[in-house]
Structure 1
């Protein structure tokens, strides 16, 4: 079922008065924002380099997820997508434990996959046992893929094993020919509302559509999905000067969303629309209006697509934007760090200026500042796409762990002549110190219900 939201009717929370108000941390509306210097944290831990070429198996890092072991946190895992290169599994020292190829989907018309984003579903009932499952979006097959996680974690010989049920339906496409146009499954997050049901929230490449799908397990332990529903968020926005702004895209595309994360305590979805900003959306879809919490700096700048360069260029380079100082397009990865009660932090990667923005989960999602990640013996983190964060002590990260994508990977072990990516591990305690955030790992909110 598709629920379409009109551009911005007055009945929505996205009223013109909200859109014209200063974005989080912004100065006067209409003025081009200038941000204060971000806080600086460092890391010395990164995964082995991935290369997006034939020799490297066309592996391009994109999005991580952190699996927390139920009893021995030292055996927790980091999972990461590598697009056509499949999946990678790392331990808490960033050593690679397993590489899974993006094999053809188990469909009669299945093709080799392209794994874009990943999240974890905890405590699914599979074939009479309880198991944790990695949920992966497969762009080339417009579906979800599922991988059961060995409870031994990093001590397992093969931590992940695919359990995708055969002949799963397309999430956004009516047929295989449409799938091949690649407006398909993109970002993914797991939503477990606590009633024994589990859902995946999925965004669509090149479109403004978000889907939810209920996860189901077969008696043989395979995992599939059903009850797919859709919601479209706005793709055009009124501006104070009376014009309507549509973010510039390549022909045939709309301003897409990618990063999604669910605050499992409240059923609140946080979603990044790359050229627009950060949304807050109630779940289930359609039970409340989406609210645009923060906007990228160039929000409202009218661009034109240049077919020769393949880029969007401003019609007036001096035109002011109506966004805030926290995000520079693309707004990409997003996740939630849990504090006591309903407190905590929403973390968003600002890919356009190599920063991360932090917002409160309470207090109207107020902005709490931004930070950068510098390398200590490794390269700085640049152009981050996906990220994942946990509030649980894992390994040496006693106040939680942030894992973030890094592109380009330019460290001493990277070949500068190849398209290199990787992932960096950041001690959340260092982020908390830099931004004066409260850390309380005694809080509940364990991902297992």
Structure 2
């Protein structure tokens, strides 16, 4: 992520967040809970979350978060760290309910950047009862540094969209039917510069990708679909400020209803767009309350539905890049607050 402002020939300086925020006012919400800090201290380490909703017991839902220098954490909805798996340099993460070896399971996929010249996808089964990640293997995902990743169901299988750091997007069909997973690249798309965040709307089969200094694009997620990028939102320094980082979908109603949320990292805000027509809806910030404010956000995730009495309409989880005096973590926001702040209906 790009957080520093270069000063002609001098060392980079920390941005004046107060000045940047004052230039781009936005309503605020506050975090209700936060996770334990990631394992790596004194570094930019926490990056991206994914949420598994326990339909039988929503309050027992789980959050998987990356420490991009060390591995993956599994947190309870209370924020407590339940499990850590040493996976090395894994950057982004997503999960999906599918079948592994013919049995119903929750698949977790992370962008594996342990080899900067060869992108791979690290795959795990989420043991939802024990809140543990069980490694099941890795699959190749093309040349270059693995950066962003998002998943989509396709028939009985899963497509992984690997966003390579240079803006290449490889669609990888993952086969989980055998003793070990396998994958093959079925399509490649390309953006012009560094990209990372991505998300698929499963209802419309639209893939959204964030090109960090440029804006947000969407593609047809079908393996035989067009590879042309359609612009959704441009970095304009006001409604969306570079870097554009994490993306999340908040569905609403039938069809294509709901919102696309983007981390406007350059001014510590989150920009919201209509999924129906790409219209800009508004923006908000996560301010200090009972817990600290959220800033320098990389990955985000939103899950709708009941998550117990404290989160009856869904949750938003956001990486917090400044969680001093301890290491970075993830903040958990009641989705009702966002709806109220922006007047979403």
**Do the aligned residues in 2 keep the contact of 1:44 with 1:375 (CA within 8 Å)?**
no
Is 1:118 the counterpart of 2:93? The answer is: yes
For residue 365 of structure 1, give the secondary structure of its aligned residue in structure 2.
coil
Find the aligned partners of 2:228 and 2:57 in 1 and give their Cα distance: 41
Distance in 2, matches of 1:288 and 1:85, equals 34
1:62 touches 1:81 (CA, 8 Å); kept in 2?
yes
Distance 1:209 1:219, change over 3 A: closer
Q: Within the alignment, does 1:219 sit opposite 2:178 as a pair? A: yes
Equivalent position of 2:51 in the other structure: 66
- For residues 391 and 431 of structure 1, the distance between their equivalents in structure 2, rounded to whole angstroms, comes to 12
Unaligned runs of 5+ in 1: 1-33, 103-112, 174-182, 236-254, 299-324, 439-449
Q: Secondary structure at the match of 1:340?
A: coil
Q: Which residue of 2 aligns with 1:94?
A: 79
Q: What does residue range 150-299 of structure 1 map to in structure 2 within 5 Å?
A: 150-152=127-129, 156=130, 158-164=131-137, 168-169=139-140, 171-173=141-143, 183-193=144-154, 195-205=155-165, 207-220=166-179, 222-233=180-191, 235=192, 255-284=193-222, 286-287=225-226, 289-297=228-236
Aligned positions of 1:246-395 closer than 5 A: 255-284=193-222, 286-287=225-226, 289-297=228-236, 325-341=238-254, 342-362=256-276, 364-395=277-308
CA distance in 2, matches of 1:214, 1:35: 44
TM-score, normalised with respect to structure 2: 0.87
Q: For 1:128, which of 83, 97, 102 is the aligned residue?
A: 102
Counterpart Cα distance in 2 of 1:333 and 1:260:
7
Task: Show CA shifts across 1:82-117 (max 9, x none).
Answer: 012200110111111011112xxxxxxxxxx31101
Could you say which residue in structure 2 is the equivalent of 1:10? none
Q: Distance in 2 between matches of 1:51 and 1:351?
A: 23
Per-residue deviation, 1:375: 2.3
Structure with more of its chain in strand, by fraction: 2
Question: 2:128, 2:29 → 1: CA distance?
Answer: 33
Paired residues of 2:157 and 2:176 also in contact (CA < 8 A): no
- 1:340-399 residue CA offsets vs partner (Å, 9 max, x unmatched): 11201100000000000011110x211110000012232210010000001121132111
Inter-partner Cα distance in structure 1 for 2:203 and 2:32: 33
Q: Tell me, yes or no, if the aligned pair for 1:393 and 1:399 is still in contact at 8 Å.
A: yes
Cα distance in 1, alignment partners of residues 235 and 290 from structure 2: 32
Q: State the alpha-carbon separation in 1 of the partners of residues 258 and 172 from structure 2.
A: 27
Structure showing greater radius of gyration is: 1
The superposition leaves residues 42-87 of structure 1 with CA deviations (integer Å, 9 ceiling, x where unpaired) of 124111223645xx8x781000000112322122100001012200
Task: Give the SS at the match of 2:339.
Answer: helix
Q: 1:256, CA displacement in angstroms?
A: 1.0
What is the CA–CA distance in structure 2 between the aligned matches of 1:279 and 1:128, rounded to whole Å?
Answer: 35
Name the structure 2 match of 1:430: 337
Decide whether the 8 Å contact of 2:32 with 2:334 is kept in 1.
Answer: no
Conservation of the 8 A alpha-carbon contact between 1:62 and 1:117? yes
393-402 vs 330-339, greater mean Cα deviation: 393-402
What do you get for the CA RMSD once the two structures are aligned? 1.9
Is the 2:207–2:219 Cα contact (8 Å) retained in structure 1?
yes
Match of 1:106 in 2: none
Deviations 1:25-55 (A, max 9, x none): xxxxxxxxx97621111124111223645xx
| Total equivalences in the alignment | 318
**Corresponding position of 1:306:** none
* Aligned-partner SS, 2:171: strand
CA contact (8 A) 2:24 2:267 kept: no
Deviations along 1:230-285, one digit per CA (max 9) or x if unpaired, are 1112x2xxxxxxxxxxxxxxxxxxx2110000010011011110000111111236
